[in-house]
Structure 1
């Protein structure tokens, strides 16, 4: 049997013959993906992925099984390839209001494989190979009717030797990442999942993107085979048993993209592949959307919003620090001690700060009784509530406790975001799914929790010791795929103490990206800082024009440089139990320009800073010293 063999290298097409595979390569030639015909009739078609920046001939990912089971028929081992389409060159640039880069761009190659099963039913697989990874999705091209997807057979076979960083699945996505090797642990795992294959020197991060109303969120399971990660639908018990686990579809239909960011650790960290493959913005007007820093009272006072005087104190903090927002968290409907919600909102707006407000997502899917509940639950409820909020001058809503990624809940998320946009309201989700690229499609969706953040200093004493290492993993896992509401930068203590240095804590405000960056400490925690540190926090951006990986290894250390306008912000942290020194090249700065550097690093002990200033250029190297579990920031302003 003759098979077509396609390869694309530097946008040059080459056609030849190959026994049992079709191959597509990235424009830069570093990544190639081969579609393999099954050897046995009972086997699925599969992709094999190669990363060529290595002398090894081994595949980075030996097998990605493909296929779906639809309620009327299967598209798996019974597939016959009818043809493959012409390879299409992809080159795109677009704008993001908030994120790691304001003007992302991508370059890739796309091909569609056309299959039929033994019932004559059609299924297509669309494959894209980018310079920083790959994405593929399934299509049913024919208008046939309504069906359910009973199973998705996508699975990733991982070499036993690969190191992996995985988070045990939980509906709120608030676990700790675990580093493991080989077949040491089996279970269900949340997105994104990071792997490092030392034989091929490749790193890769597995995720999904452009999840929409036509599907459910998936996760990974290696319960059957320790080194094979199957895509599986939500557990029936998620959301207290409400909603179907498997999704219902209407053809023609497209699945979400299965996304893998591939390269060295810098390529993976800087990748925007999740938004690259997501739908363009759907809002007619987005000029009203403003990223910003938020003052937040819950971390230091779990019932702070119940107290009008505490609310005013945190509004004053935002005003003194030049931050855009303050959050009225839970219990605002029970506010007392001098004023109620209307009084607080009036005061906040009067001093030029924009209030945000918390809601329980409500409904039978959550066990949490906190009020107000159910005001988000229906379109009519939301329109009534959003009308009130708009008149009051409230800028956005924080909606909490979703506890499911079933299709009904995906629809609920998107209903909230779309209705909020009609009233010029920002949205962010807590107790939620991990980002799937929606911030491109709906830029009023500013951030998500979906992380074990600083709030956990309230919840369990074990976070104290886990946090330093956890913080060094997040820039290479969770925060790669979208905004992350960790609620960072705390210098005093919450219910349980932290053991990170002041330099470490300060760095988190730059290291972690979130369109709404909630500063979690109490006012005196910020007022007691040196004036030069306060000045930096006053000007801290919450959205970035560019992001560069500087150095790091998950669980040990991390350093990123982020640009806003002409200014660069560099931040680094360590989880090591000893002092470390690093010499950093400043080649990320614009050549030929002299910059004023403000360096804030660990001082003599972990509760003081060492602050210095000097003039530097892109040709210079910066030496920084970190205490154990320490950190630093550096701000570069062109002269």
Structure 2
């Protein structure tokens, strides 16, 4: 232990360690996580890489309707377990991934004796962590009112961030659409454009020492999507939940889940260059498929008339031209965007699908995600947000031989939106449809 502490102090760790603090390194020992566990302070952590500070002491914990899991937290024990697995993926940047990490599970109790675990995965260039809660005092569910989770950067850090927009503004009141402009190499002192922080993923340059990418993974119907807050005066960004105005005010901003249960993973990728940032697979390393699909889906290349010709191209004749274009290029698909239900019509869509298939091309069709959280006129609307109508629509698509759908303009990041994503995917799989969100 003395050797470890000496090495940490020599390696520019900014905070003194105590007997309770926990140190874990990645398999190649360049990436180092320290968890600080003094009951007099909130739990916190720091990250160094090759002895250089990537994240300074940053807070951990969360507040819930059943207890405060941030203040007065006592470490009651911890375990470290090596992870060494190989998995295959045919939809990401590499097909075979050899994932190695050391998993640290820290067991905490709050002032009332309520328990929470913080689970960390420390790889060679990635740290992922999440909170897990058992049933508490007979309670079988929890609402998370706020996360204390933070990311405090060294003073020399600059940022590459996309601001989170106001809700219910912009074209047809469709924002946030995650189409705001990134600022490159901006100082941390710059405030976000709208005052709502930043959309994941968030990239930081630690001067000449390296790079850090902060994001999340494993978000599903049991939580909301999150973002980073604006920075505080001491270079701290924290996890922020959706705004109340999102989804036209429908749905809660505070996620809830059954107990025992867990939050999504917060992910931190570090490197001396951008190479580990580009090549990271942490978004898939720490999660498992929610279910086995009924069908074997094979995505490919496609044409899309809207990108050049926009709404005016969504007619039968122009779509024939783009189907012919896809066939000539050897592409597998063509996407027909909004207004097809009006400008082509459901009856003629059957013959268009048949024509495409005669050319060896399969079709995707566009849908609005809803009809009650923006002002979109482009159809089809009011098809994807109602289970009865959605299943009927998907059955019709399957009968035509349509291969997939593009579902557009979701209302925000609330838990009810995450639930809708999941429901659409599940129903689409029942009908052999691929999905582009």
> Is it true that 1:75 corresponds to 2:69 in the alignment?
yes
Higher relative contact order (CA 8 A, sep 6+): 2
1:284 offset after TM fit, Å? 4.2
Deviations 1:243-295 (A, max 9, x none): 111112221110100101111311111111111112236224453x1121111
1:132 offset after TM fit, Å? 1.9
> Is it true that 1:406 corresponds to 2:414 in the alignment?
yes
1:226 offset after TM fit, Å? 6.6
SS for the counterpart of 1:358 is: strand
Partner of 2:286: 277
Contact 1:261/1:271 (<8 A) preserved? yes
Question: 5+ residue gaps in structure 1?
Answer: 8-16, 430-639
Residue from 256, 266, 284 that aligns with 2:264 = 256
Partner of 2:42: 44
CA distance in 2, matches of 1:119, 1:375: 48
Shift in CA distance, 223/132, structure 1 to aligned 2, threshold 3 Å = closer
1:335 offset after TM fit, Å? 2.3
SS for the counterpart of 2:352 is: helix
Between the two proteins, the alignment pairs up a number of residues equal to: 410
Partner of 1:174: 179
Contact 2:37/2:74 (<8 A) preserved? no
CA distance in 1, matches of 2:295, 2:265: 25
Contact 1:65/1:156 (<8 A) preserved? yes
CA distance in 2, matches of 1:226, 1:46: 15
CA distance in 2, matches of 1:152, 1:368: 34
Deviations 1:48-94 (A, max 9, x none): 10101xxxx55210022101101122000221111112x11111211
Partner of 1:105: 98
CA distance in 1, matches of 2:180, 2:293: 37
CA distance in 2, matches of 1:98, 1:105: 16
CA distance in 1, matches of 2:234, 2:182: 17
Residue from 337, 348, 353 that aligns with 1:340 = 348
CA distance in 2, matches of 1:78, 1:235: 29
Contact 1:244/1:407 (<8 A) preserved? yes
Contact 1:137/1:256 (<8 A) preserved? yes
> Is it true that 1:241 corresponds to 2:249 in the alignment?
yes
Partner of 2:150: 155
Contact 2:164/2:198 (<8 A) preserved? yes
1:96 offset after TM fit, Å? 1.2
Correspondence 1:616-631 to 2 at 5 A:
none
1:224 offset after TM fit, Å? 4.0
1:20 offset after TM fit, Å? 4.4
Residue from 214, 221, 225 that aligns with 1:217 = 225
Deviations 1:220-248 (A, max 9, x none): 01254372111010011111111111112
Partner of 2:191: 185
> Structure 2 length as normaliser, TM-score?
0.89
CA distance in 2, matches of 1:256, 1:387: 33
> Is it true that 1:24 corresponds to 2:32 in the alignment?
no
Shift in CA distance, 94/31, structure 1 to aligned 2, threshold 3 Å = same
1:177 offset after TM fit, Å? 1.3
Contact 1:305/1:335 (<8 A) preserved? no
SS for the counterpart of 2:309 is: coil
Contact 2:54/2:270 (<8 A) preserved? no
CA distance in 2, matches of 1:111, 1:370: 49
Question: 5+ residue gaps in structure 2?
Answer: 7-16, 166-175
1:374 offset after TM fit, Å? 1.4
CA distance in 2, matches of 1:340, 1:26: 58
Deviations 1:101-129 (A, max 9, x none): 11122110001111111111111000110
What is the aligned-residue RMSD (CA, Å)? 2.3
Partner of 1:227: 235
Contact 1:304/1:310 (<8 A) preserved? no
1:27 offset after TM fit, Å? 0.4
Correspondence 1:218-617 to 2 at 5 A:
218-222=226-230, 224-225=232-233, 227-263=235-271, 264-280=273-289, 282-287=291-296, 289-336=297-344, 340-429=348-437
SS for the counterpart of 2:160 is: strand
SS for the counterpart of 1:334 is: helix
CA distance in 1, matches of 2:232, 2:49: 27
Partner of 2:168: none
